[in-house]
Each structure stands twice: as C-alpha cells, then as structure tokens.
Chains A and B, each alone.
Chain A
Amino acid sequence: MAKLEYDKNGRLLFTKEMREEYTIFIPMMLPVHMTLLERVLNQAGYHCKLLTSTHSGIVNEGLQNVHNDTCYPALLVIGQMLDAIKNGGYDPHKVALMITQTGGGCRASNYIHLLRKALKNNGMDYIPVISFNLTGMEHNPGFRLNFSLATSMITAVIYADLLMNLGNQLRPYEKNEGETDALIMAWNDKLLQTSMSIFHMKKTMAAICEDFNQIETVQRDKTLVGIVGEIYIKYSPLGNNNLEEFLRREGCEVVIPGLLDFIIFMSDHHIVDSRNFGIKYGKGMLSYLMKRFFIHVQKQMIRAVKRYPRFRPPAYFEDTKKLAGEYLNEGNKMGEGWLLTGEMLELIHSGVKNIVCAQPFGCLPNHIVGKGMIRAIRERNPQANIVAIDYDPGATKINQENRIKLMLSIAREKQKSAAEKTAKKMPVKA
C-alpha cells in the first residue's frame, strides 16, 4: 500500500507506488477526445478511468460540496468525481483524481483548489489530486508528463479533433446508421496500435480523411447549427443537457469548433502580453515554439480535409483571430476570451449562421466575449441567428430547449424565406 507523501507546502503527492496501485479518475469533457486520451494514458502505464456517469446524483454531490454560486462546470466536475469515489465501486484509498489547471484570470483556474477543499470537507484528503497542465505547475513524482507522453497526448487531441469534425459532418447524412461512430471507434484502436508519433501525422490524417470519405451518405435536409461557448459546457454532454443529441434529433447538423484552436489560443497568451504590455516572460520562447508547432499541425489537418470537397475544413487559427480582431483586442484572454467571439464569426463566415452560445449561468468572461458581443455581431452580420443559453443546476431542459427551438424556427424560416415571400394580410373577424 502506497504511503502518503506530501511536498513542502503540505500538498499530497501522487507517488510512484500510487502509479502502480491507484486508479486515476478523469472527468468527462469531450467524449471523442477523452476516450482516446484515457487509452493513451493507460497505454503509458497508468490506470485511468474516464468518468462517464451522468445521473442527477452528480449535481447533488456538487451542490453539497461546492459553493453554489461557483460556476456550473466546477460543480459538475467535482460532483462527478466525488460521486465516483463514493459510489463507483473503487476503494477510495486507491484512487487519485486528475484535473486540468490553466492558471488564467478566470475563476476556472481555481477548480483544483475547490476540489481539494471538497475532499477535505468529506474527510477524504488522503486522495491525491494530479494537476494536468503543460506549464509545469504542481510536480508529482508518480505522474510525469515526459516528452513522449506529452506528444502522444497532444497528437491524440489533434486526431480527436479531426475525428470529431468529420464525424459531425457525416453522422446526420450517413446511409447506414452508426457507421460514422463505428469508424471513430475503429480509428481509436488503430491510432493506439500504431504509434501516436507526431511525425506520422500528415500521413495518418490523410488516411483518416480517406476512410471517412468512404462513408456513404444520402441527401437530407438539415439545419446547420454551430455550438460555441465556455469550454466545458460547450463540449460536455453532462454540462449541456446533451445539447448535440438534442440538436441532431431536431434535424440539425452540428458544427463544433475543435480543441486545437483553444490550445493555440492558450499558447498565444504570453506572446500577446508581451506585444500589448511589453512584459517579458521566461517561458515566452516556449510559448512561441508551441504556437508555431500547433499552427503547423493545424495547417496539415486543413490541407488533409480540403482534399475532399464534400468536407468543410476547420478554419485557420490566424483567420479566426483576424475576424475576432474587428471586435476585440487579442489581449482579451480570460476564459475563452476573444476565441469565443472569433468562433462565432468564423462559423458565420463559413456559412453556419445559426449558433448556440452555451455558458454556465453567470460566466464572467462570457458576459463580455459571448453575450456582450452578440449585439455587435448581429449589427454587422444581420443574417446571424444566435441564441445564448445559460446552464446551471436549476435551469430546466424545457426552458433551454424552448429557446433553442425559437432559434431553429427562425433558422428554418430564413431557409425558406427565399422561396415564399409574402403572405396575404387579412384582418380577423371574430
């Protein structure tokens, strides 16, 4: 049994013994990405368990253990973890938790601390929490993000982006139901078997695109709807009441910008700060290299997708940024920052005029970059049809869906309005 060891600040460490004995819980966010990442980590010798639970007990755990005015994602992530510890059938003494830590000016960077507080309040502070970040915060002897693991994970994210993107474009039209998801799973396996090396990326992405191109589709009348928003709520079915599924049922093709843009956006921060304020950072060079690498990969991906005219390729980061630049400064970096505005604009420019902007109730950055920009976006893009939806433990699905339905009705009318113009005006005679 692994001993509990602490660092000099009293933080419980994830030790090498724990690596052997413990199961690491990972909260769900993007299904395609997280499934692949879980397997990458397991392949590297960890015992990870991706939490896929969605029952209402999660929200209750969250409500009981996290300040209710904290953002909904914190409540869900922490609730999901506590629920899994208590009811997941694991020995709590052989469990560790992994959570991402960004370190931005948004309150989201406090999740890890709130999680530890919650564990303490439950008398479970013997459970180590691993911070997952690319900037070297919170070292743990048992979890090393070495070059090989880091690159496999990054590669996994990039592939997952591509799989999600193509999957979303094909799923509504596939001739044989389930074929798209089966292909995604097949590629999951294939990616794990062949190495996740960044050097094969170009070839692999081409192969993925070719495989997806084989999927037979039929012509169906679908409404294109983009989803943007706070990162957790945007992607996580638990967070957004299964928004993607709802939209699909309503006859929509869902367009969700990938995670890669967000990663480039994050690595851009230091560069932008230096440009805006003249502040120099020690890690400035690393940021610069990372950004260049990701931009390069994104270009490869776009090129691979573009070879097939039937697919809508992802947008170039710099193009999205340029669009946002007409509304916001690139220094607007907390939360999703200018990227959220940029994604709305990019969607509109690429023909996806209908957008759901999803956020936790009272999300601070989204007051500005989400709801705060919609008016200006509409002013310059009158065809834009955007609905902002708030998510929190008390908001009901019916309310949210009714508002989305309004957006969809408008979308469909706009689709039709070209054909039929005027209806006769007749007075009512009661």
Chain B
Amino acid sequence: MTAELYHIGIDIGSTTVKVVVMDEALHLLFKKYQRHHSRARELAADMLLEAKEAVGSHPVTVAFSGSAGLSVAEMTGIPFAQEVFATKTAVDTLLSGIDAVVELGGEDAKILFLTGGTEERMNGSCAGGTGAFIDQMASLLNLSVTELDSLSFQHTQIYNIASRCGVFAKSDIQPLLNQGANKSDVAASIYQAIVNQTIAGLAQGREIKGKVAFLGGPLTFLLGLRQRFVETLKLDKDHAVFPDNAEYYVAMGAALEGKKGDVTDFDSVYKRLTETKANINQVDTLPPLFQNDEEYEEFKARHACHSVEQVNMDDYRGEAFLGVDAGSTTTKCALITPDGKLLYTYYTSNNGDPLTVIREQLKLLYERFGDRIIIKGSAVTGYGEELLKNAFHMDFGIVETVAHYYAARHFEPNVDFIMDIGGQDMKCFKLKNGVVDSILLNEACSSGCGSFIEAFAVALGYPVAEFAALGLQAKHPVNLGSRCTVFMNSSVKQAQKDGAGIDDISAGLSISVVKNAVYKVIRAHHPDELGKNIVVQGGTFLNDAILRAFELEIGRNVTRPAIAGLMGAYGAALYACHKRPEASTLIGPQELEVFVHKAVMSECKGCTNRCKLTINTFGGPEKYISGNRCDKPLGKKALNLPNAYQFKQERLASYRSKGGTRGKIGLPMGLNLYELLPFWFTIFDSLGFEVVVSGPSSRGLYVAGQHTIPSDTVCYPAKLMHGHIEQLLDQGVDTVFYPCMPYNFDEKQGDNHYNCPVVAFYPELIQANVTRLKEIRYLNPYVAPHARKAFTPRFIQWLGETFGIDKKSARAGIDNGYAELAAYQQSVYDYGEKAIAFAKENGRDVIVLAGRPYHADGEINHGMDTLLTSLGLVVISEDCIPPAPQAKVNVLNQWTYHSRLYHAARFVCEHKNMNLVQLVSFGCGLDAITTDEVKDILEQGGKIYTQIKIDEITNLGAAKIRLRSLIEATKDVR
C-alpha cells in the first residue's frame, strides 16, 4: 500500500510563522502559529519538526508563502506561493460563495475580490502595518492586545485617527491620551482607523459587498476589530464570514499550491530548511561605533563629567522650584534648589495619564517636605502643559524649546546648538547670542525617535538598555537608510533575513535615527552648520549608541548632560526659579486631598467644525477644555485680530447663486477652483445658471469620497476633491464643471506660470475614478484663462456648443468673470494692506501664513490661522501681497502659486514685525523645492523659517510648539 500524500504549507509572515499539514482530503492534520521575533527560518524549522509526528513516513509536497517566506524559499529551493495568491487558492478550495476577502496580517493588508471581476490587492509600501500597528498602539496605551480588544467594546464615541500610517495615527492618539480621553474610545478609534485604511487604501472605489470572508491573525483573535469591520461594511451575520482556522489560510493555500510541486519526504524538507546557509545577500554594513576598547573608555570618561550636584532632600531646608515636563509618553519632574542643585527627580512612562503621575508625585513630595521645604515656583512644559497647568495651578506654562534652552545653557553657557530627541519628537534649535535663531522639529512623517528604538527592542525580544548595549559592541552595523520608520521595519526584516545579528541591527538603528535627524530634520551639509558647542539631550541620547553615532556622524564631540532625559523638567524648574513669582500658585497639600479628575466628552456647537471637546474638571469649580480649535468654547473674548484666511473664506462663501433658469451647475471647491471661484462662479451665475458650490470641507466630506482615491500618497487637498464631488452629486447637481488648467494666471513673477501637475490635471483623475459621474454631465475642458484674448473666443464657442448660449451673452459673462476675479484679488490685497496697517498701529506682529490659495480651507489648514490669532498675531496670506517683478531665485521658478511664496518671503524680510510660516501639505513634491528656497531667502533676510506640515492629521500640538517657539524667539529679538 502506498502511503497517502500529505501537503505541508509554511507561511512565514512579517511577525509570525504558520505551519500546516493537510492530507489528500484536505483535513488539517497539524497546525501551529507562533511569533518569530525575526528568527523566521530557525523557528520555521523548529515548528516543522513538531509536525514530524503528524506527517510520519508519508510522502509530502511542500510550499512556502508569506513576505519573509520568499527568501527562505529561494534559499532552500522549495516552491513559493505568493501569499495573496495562496489566500485565493485556499478560499476557492475551502469556502464557497465568497465574494470578497479581507485579510490582515502582521504588516500587510490584502483585499481579494472573487466575483464580478477577480482582483487582488495588497497595501502599497507606504501604508503602515496592521497587526504590528495594533501591537504598537497597544503598547502606547500600556495595554496588552487582548485588553485593548476587550476595552474597545465599551467605547461611547469614535475619534478621527489618521489612518494612513502608524506614525500618523500615533501622533493623533498621543494628544488624545494626554488630554484625558477614555482608553476604550481610543481603542475603538484605532480599530476604526484600520478599517478606514483598508477600505480607502485597498478597495479604492470598489465596494466590498456580498459575502465577505475575514482572514489572518488579527481578524481571528481581535473581536473588536471584527465588529468595526462588520459595522462599517454594514454586513449581517450571513454575509460576514469568519471561518475556522482563519489565521492559517495563507499556509493552507501554500499547501494547496504545493500540490503542483515535486513529491518528497519529511526528512529531506527538514534537512533543506535547516542546512541552507542564510547568507545569500551581502548585507550593507557601516564601520563600527568604536574601533577598540580605548575609544570606548575615552568616550565614557568624557561624558561622565557633565552631571548636576545632588542634594539630599531629606536634609535640605529652604526654597525649592519644581519643573515638570509632560512629554508624549513620559512624565518627568525635577525639584531644584535656588542655585540649581537637584533635590529630586522622577522619570516615568505616563501610561497615557500624566495627571495621576503628577498627583502622586506631589503627594509624595508634600509628605516628605514636612515644613522644611517650600515650593516657591513651578513651571510645566510639554504636550500635557495646559492640562497640568490648569489641574495643579502651576505658575508657568512654557514652550519646550524655552525649557530646553534654560537647561542646556546651565551645562554649556556658550551653547549654540541644542538637539533633543525624545520619545516622539525631535527638536533642534540653533542659538545666536542667547536667542533661539531657528527651530527644527521633525515632521509627523519621520517621528521615529526614541519610542521607535524601544519598539524595535521589544519586538526583537530585548530590554531597551540591553539592546542599546549590544549596539555599542557591534562589529558591522547594518546600513538601514534614513527614512520613515514604516520603511525601516522592512529594512530590518531584510537585514535579519540576510543574516545580520541583533548587535549589528541595534547599532544600525541608532545610526539611522541619527542620520534621520541630521539629514532629514536638520538638513545639514556640514557639521559646522550646526554649531561649535552642541548640547544633546532627551531620553534617546541616554542611549550611548545613539550618542556615539551622532558624534561620529557630525565629526565632533558634544555635551550630553547626565540628566539628558530630564532636561525639559530641569529647564522648567530653572525657568520658574529665574522668574521667581511672589508666591507660588501651585496646588497645596490640602487641595490635593480633594483633587479628583473627571473627563467628559462633548461636541462643540460653536461652529460647523464641531470639534470634539474633552472637558476636564478637577474637583473644584475650574474646568479645562481641550480638543478645541478656537477660543469659542472657552468663553473667552476673542481678540478679533485681522485674519486674511477668515476674510477669504467669508468672501468666497458669498458666491452663492440665488437660483437660475438654466439649471444647476456644480463647482467643487478646491485646488484650481478655489482661488478662481469668483471667475467661474460669475461667468455661470451671470449666464443664468444656479451655481452650486461644494463645501465647506470637513472630515466627513473627506470620508465620503475616500473610497474613490486611487493614489494614497497624493496630497490631502487633492484627496478632499473626491468628497467635494460626492457632495455635489448628493445635492442632485446634474452638471459638474471642473476644468483642467496646466497654466495658471501669469503674475510675471517667475520663469513660467504653471500649475503643479496635480492641480492642473486632477479633473481627469476624478473623471476616471468617480463612477457616479457617469450618471451626470461632467465637464472638464482644458482652459487657459490667463491668455484672455485666446481664451475668450474659445470659451464662447465652448459655452455655445455645450449649453447653446449665444455669443453675446457668453462674452458678457466671461467679461463679468474677469472683472469679478480682479475685484476679488484687489479685495484680498486691500485686506492685506489694512491688516498690516492695523498691526503697525496696534503694535502687533504679522504672520504671513503662506501656502496655496486652497490652504485657506479650514479642513486643510486645521485652523492654523485662528491658532495664530489666538496667540495674538495678525494673519495675512501669501496672496495678500500684490505681485511685483522678482529677483532671480536659485531654482526654476515656474509655478504661479509657488512664485508667490518667494515673493512673500522677500516681503517679510523687509518688515521688522513680520514673520513667515509656510504651510506644506504632506506629499507635495513641489514644496520639497520651495521650502529650501523660502528658507534661504528668509535666513538671508535675518528671519526665522518656520514650516508646518499638514495632512489629514487634526493634531495641532506640534504646530503649536513651533509657533510658540517662533513667538518666543521673535520676542527675544526685540
């Protein structure tokens, strides 16, 4: 009797290994699922060995699958089945009647459409992981994944969390936690972000309907995630299929695909797997951090001397000053004597709840003080600044850059460059004559930093300190590049696969963090650009590997204070000491006894933004509201400072038809139509159309159009267009006008007057991707209104052909359009002029909030304009400045909107009370060019360059630090 043929499938994913054995009737004889902590091949071999009993002496076929299985398959010469394909095979064979499959893995997300045109999709390399993403978020919340899952069922509301990539989501979640949001709500919101990402990023306009099977580890184990999918996709019980062994489908698919391959036996498979040498690729390596032990000893000795004198708190009698740094993931306290000696320090992970940490600390301090020590002043800095200041009545809330400067100069009085890498942020600032000269913060995109290394250490199964220590001894650090952390994940995977050791990876990661800081954040070409006396700080620099990598990269020794992780708190304490309030307002021991913190969620009804507010109360009458974008819900009296953004919004909102005889025509309010609304509106309105203008933009509007976005890396303003179109369609508009415009108006400020490719041609993308447009008339002619003489007859003809409008009315309509556009532009210039005059009269500073005309959209700028006015600044926009012939710039100056930026930068340099803040949409390729140039112009004019990257993110925290630092810096100048 010949023994039955068995089929082995091995799925090596990004985080787990799955092994299955099936018999010919497809019974599952063996299955095993285990995390591999990047020991993929070894673990696969071990797990296979466990299957030996199940296989016995049966002949077998075998195949690999999974992202990490590819190279193992190549090494061993065992067949490989691409995982999406394997999934499809498994579903086709094992289930019936399935229309679509959603499969989430450790870092991949896939959708398969099986009926109505088979299609398989995988997430692009930009979309962050899923399973790994949940792990990361759970650790951020200090929960196990299981706890996170069960908490998610208790949610009462869902927050908007950016769903594109993990780094973005993290920067949305952190402030929510710091502001006291419920963990259960956050948990559910994390799940919802994944669901949205899957639908938007993968389905891309194809509806997920019919019978949907959910596969993969996360969807097997996380019931809360399932619930979010089922609810969002509106599936009933019969249509949401959660098959048994859902986490093994790829492995089973591999086993099924393997049937086509050669028959062999267990031992030879095992042998091939264990005996193959891993090293097929040459790992790209870097020089070690230390050439020899002497170098290391010298390094240790050099850094040992930057310490602060400690005084025993229990012996001390007298005044003290308290500094608190409520960072994103950690909370730090420092209590100092008036001469800067340390009485007490505390450093802890805040577990998303800084309030409790500080309350406990204060209690503890008051108990130990007795009547010996009196706190004469207190200051708080960091993400949780406002919450803590309100909760504990601290004397000062200061911006982080100021706190760090106070601390750094204590160690190095001549400090001219400070580099701070914390858990989430990277801050660098240059100092000139004791004044902050320029501030650089990491963009949301590269916010790897400290928590990034920590996450890697944990994922690889090491405590952070041990992980870092390993790196110091690495002989051949792996070259991992210097990009976003999401990419770094795959780089690390690849390096491991290629046989790199943990020590080399640890050192490589440290070097990457440093490179990221030096080349992406600071954008330095030479170490001399940084400064001569550099102080590095932040918890991340306590990692010697990072410190060393930094010194090597910039080729210069730096100062790292022994309290590098506490510098924010220490600086805050020094600040409080320096300011010396008469009497401290800090909460006393008695009040602390009755202190209770309560957070209630609510929605602001002040305007259409409908901000989700968190109202915190602390047992007393005071309350602290967060989540607001303006001062309205706080009941404060608005300053009513000039704000050109608001002016433009209001003025553009006034273009609304009262009805017309020719029927409705819809204009989507964004990109090239935004500034030209007066032009197009007036033409159509005066021709008797009822012009329907879409908007205002909102998160909801974006979500409504999200499913038709084909490219998830395009800028947010472009993505919003999909929502605008959907809104117009929902309003029953039967004609939509959205012209293609390669050329913009020629303001004679540059070498040419193009629009960017996206602004120019997005109407064509809309046509190709919004299926509903087929039901109506969508008009996207190529037009060039800048050439009025050529445009007029052509557009007259077009209006005649399209709507049967006679030439005379058409010409009149077009003339009206030009007149109105000129009037609109003049009104913006006038407003700018008046705003500048107002600022002068009232001694206010002016910020030119420079971007593109469509950045005036509140959903795009996230209320940056009102944030600025609430800080006491007059806001104008780049298009408030009338065009004038320009001096040459060092780049090709060929886009109308971008030429205005250079012009605005020069304009700002000529005015003492002006500064420029550049709004940059994430994914804007052209701004990669403009930012450097604008920066050059400003710096040559003695101004500070401030850039704010915006995306679908609604977190203003980072922007606020930047803006406040800018204000502090300019204050110091005068």
Most buried by B among A390, A395, A399, A406: A399
Contact between chains at B490 and A372 (CB < 8 Å)? no
Chain B positions within 8 Å of A394 at CB level: 481-484, 487-488, 491
Q: A114-B929, A334-B760, A394-B483 are in contact. Are A399 and B27 (CB under 8 A)?
A: no
Chain B residues closer than 8 Å to A236, beta-carbon distance: none
Name B728-778 residues within 8 Å CB distance of A.
Answer: 740, 742-743, 752, 754-758, 760-762, 764-765, 768-769
Given that A278-B791, A398-B490 are contacting pairs, would A109 and B894 also be in contact in the complex, using a CB cutoff of 8 Å? Answer: yes
- Cα of A195 to Cα of B31 in the assembled complex, Å: 69
Q: C-beta contact mask, A264-305 vs B, less than 8 Å → 1, else 0?
A: 000000000100111100000000000000000000000000
Q: How far is the CA of A385 from the CA of B85 in the complex (A)?
A: 14
A63→B482 contact, CB < 8 A: yes
Question: Given A331-B782, A406-B120, A428-B245, do A67 and B710 touch, yes or no (CB 8 Å)?
Answer: no
Contact A367 B769 (CB under 8 A): no
- A178 — which chain B residues lie within 8 A by C-beta? none
Set of chain A residues within 8 Å of B791, measured between Cβ atoms? 277-278
Q: Contacting B758 at CB < 8 Å: which of A64, A364, A423?
A: A364
> How far is A56 from B793 in the complex, measured between Cα atoms in Å?
56
Asked if A89 lies at the interface with its beta carbon under 8 angstroms from chain B, I say no
- Beyond A113-B890, A363-B925, list 15 extra A-B contacts (CB 8 Å): A64-B519, A71-B928, A117-B932, A273-B784, A279-B784, A329-B740, A329-B764, A334-B760, A361-B125, A364-B926, A378-B117, A390-B124, A396-B494, A426-B94, A428-B244
A368 at the interface (CB under 8 A from B): yes
Find chain B residues with CB under 8 A from A106 CB. 757
Name the A residues within 8 Å of B768 (CB-CB).
Answer: 327, 372-373, 375-376
Residue of A nearest to B949 (CB): A69
Tell me whether B439 is interfacial, beta carbon within 8 Å. no
Contact A406 B82 (CB under 8 A): yes
Contact sample, A vs B, 18 pairs, CB 8 Å cutoff: A64-B525, A70-B925, A103-B752, A117-B932, A276-B782, A277-B782, A277-B791, A365-B757, A367-B718, A382-B117, A394-B487, A396-B490, A398-B490, A399-B125, A401-B70, A405-B70, A428-B26, A430-B245
Contact residues on B (Cβ < 8 Å of other chain), bracket:
35 or more
CB 8 Å contact bits of A222-249 with B (1 = contact, 0 = none): 0000000000000000000000000000
Binary B-proximity of A349-373 (CB < 8 A = 1, otherwise 0):
0000000000001111111110111
Q: For the complex, is A105 an interface residue (Cβ under 8 Å from B)?
A: yes
Inter-chain contact A277/B787, CB cutoff 8 Å: yes
Query: Which residues in A have their C-beta under 8 angstroms from that of B769?
Result: 372, 375-376
Known: A63-B519, A367-B765. A426 touches B794 (CB 8 A): no
Answer whether residue A92 sits at the interface, using C-beta atoms and an 8 A cutoff.
Answer: no
Within 8 A of B (CB), among A78-123: 103, 105-107, 109-110, 112-114, 116-117, 121-122
Interface string of A367-411 (1 = CB under 8 A from B): 111011111101000100000101011111111111101101110
> Which residue from A70, A334, A410, A413 sits with its C-beta under 8 Å from B928?
A70
A217 to chain B, nearest CB (A): 27
| Docked complex Cα distance between A363 and B82 (Å) | 27
Collect the chain A residues with CB atoms within 8 Å of residue B84's CB. 406, 409
Chain A residues whose C-beta falls within 8 Å of the C-beta of B83 in the assembled complex: 402
**What is the chain A residue whose CB lies nearest that of B90?**
A428
Complex A-B, nearest 6 residue pairs according to Cβ-Cβ distance, in ascending order: A394-B483, A394-B487, A278-B790, A69-B928, A105-B754, A372-B765
Q: A333-B742, A402-B82 are in contact. Are A425 and B757 (CB under 8 A)?
A: no
**Residues on the B chain within 8 Å of A429, using CB:** 25-28
The answer to the question of B812 belonging to the interface, with a C-beta cut-off of 8 Å to chain A, is no
Contact of B120 among A112, A335, A410 (CB under 8 A): A410
- Cα–Cα, bound, A107→B756 (Å): 8
**A176 at interface by CB-CB < 8 Å:** no
What residue in chain A is nearest B768 (Cβ atoms)?
A: A376
Among B26, B85, B125, B765, find the residue whose CB has the most chain A CB atoms closer than 10 A: B125
**Which residues does B use to contact A, with CB under 8 Å?**
25-28, 31, 67, 70-71, 80-85, 92-96, 117, 119-120, 122, 124-126, 204-205, 244-245, 252, 284, 479, 481-484, 487-488, 490-491, 493-494, 497, 515, 519-520, 523, 525, 710-711, 713-714, 718, 740, 742-743, 752, 754-758, 760-762, 764-765, 768-769, 782-784, 787, 790-791, 793-794, 888, 890-892, 894-895, 923-929, 931-932
Q: Are A71 and B494 in contact (CB under 8 A)?
A: no
Cα A362 to Cα B83 in complex, Å, equals 26
- Interface pair A398/B126, CB less than 8 Å apart: no
- B167 nearest CB across to chain A (Å): 13
Residues in B neighbouring A331, C-beta threshold 8 A: 740, 742, 782
Q: What residues of chain B lie closer than 8 Å to A367, measured between beta carbons?
A: 710-711, 713-714, 718, 757-758, 765
Contact B31 A430 (CB under 8 A): yes
Q: Do the beta carbons of A334 and B892 come within 8 Å of each other?
A: no
* Complex: A103 Cα to B82 Cα, angstroms: 42
Contact of B494 among A332, A398, A427 (CB under 8 A): A398
A67 and B523 contacting across the interface, CB-CB below 8 Å: yes
Interface residue count on the A side (C-beta < 8 Å): 82
Inter-chain contacts of A396 with B (CB < 8 A):
125, 487, 490-491, 493-494
Measured between alpha carbons, how far is A105 from B926 in the docked complex, in Å? 10
Q: How far is the CA of A65 from the CA of B95 in the complex (A)?
A: 54
Using a Cβ cutoff of 8 Å, how many contacts connect chains A and B?
A: 241
With A277-B794, A398-B70: A372-B711 Cβ-Cβ less than 8 Å: yes
A362 to B892, CA, bound (A): 20
A345 at the interface (CB under 8 A from B): no
Count chain A CB atoms within 10 A of each CB in B31, B205, B926, B931 and give the residue with the most. B926
A364 contact from B284, B757, B764, Cβ within 8 A: B757
Contact A107 B755 (CB under 8 A): no
**A335 (CB) vs chain B CBs: closest residue:** B757
Rounded to whole angstroms, the CA-CA distance of A65 and B493 in the bound complex is 27
A105 touching B757, Cβ below 8 Å: yes
List, in ascending order, chain B residues with CB within 8 A of A400's CB. 125
Q: CB within 8 Å of B: which of A55-75?
A: 56, 59, 63-65, 67-71
The 8 A CB mask of A307-345 against B (1 = contact, 0 = none) is: 000000000000000000001110111110000000000
A9 at the interface (CB under 8 A from B): yes
A107–B31 CB distance below 8 A: no
Contact: B742 with A105, CB < 8 Å? Answer: yes
In the complex, A277→B746 CA distance in Å?
Answer: 15
A105 touches B895 (CB 8 A): yes
Chain A residues in 8 Å Cβ range of B761: 332, 334, 365, 368-369
CB distance B67 to A402 under 8 Å? yes
Bound-state Cα–Cα, A327 to B761, Å = 12
Q: Would B27 and A428 count as touching, CB distance under 8 A?
A: yes
Q: Which of A122, A373, A400 counts the most chain B CB atoms within 10 A? A: A373
**Residue pair A426, B81 in contact (C-beta under 8 Å):** no
> Which residues of B lie under 8 Å from residue A368 when comparing CB positions?
757-758, 761-762, 764-765
Bound together, the chains give a CA A117 to CA B525 distance in angstroms of: 11
Q: A362-B925, A365-B757, A372-B765 are in contact. Are A110 and B794 (CB under 8 A)?
A: no
A89 to B784, CA, bound (A): 51
Bound-state Cα–Cα, A168 to B81, Å = 27
Q: How far apart sit A405 and B117, CA to CA, in the bound complex (Å)?
A: 20
Cβ-defined contact, B94 with A372, below 8 A: no
Identify the interface centre among A70, A333, A409, A424: most chain B CB within 10 Å of its CB: A409
How many angstroms from the CA of A378 to the CA of B769 in the assembled complex?
Answer: 11
User: Which one of B122, B284, B710, B890 contacts A56 once the chains associate, using CB atoms below 8 Å?
Assistant: B284
Query: Complex: how many Å from CA A402 to CA B120?
Result: 13
A110 touches B929 (CB 8 A): yes
Determine the chain A residues whose CB is within 8 A of the CB of B742 once the complex forms. Answer: 105, 331, 333-334
Residue of A nearest to B491 (CB): A396
Residues of the A chain whose Cβ atoms lie less than 8 Å from the Cβ of B929: 67, 70, 107, 110, 114
- Docked-complex contact A375 and B204, CB < 8 angstroms: yes
B643 to chain A minimum Cβ distance, whole angstroms, is: 29
Contact between chains at B782 and A113 (CB < 8 Å): no
List A111-141 residues whose CB lies under 8 Å from chain B.
112-114, 116-117, 121-122
Compute how far the CA of A409 lies from the CA of B479 in the bound complex, rounded to whole angstroms: 32
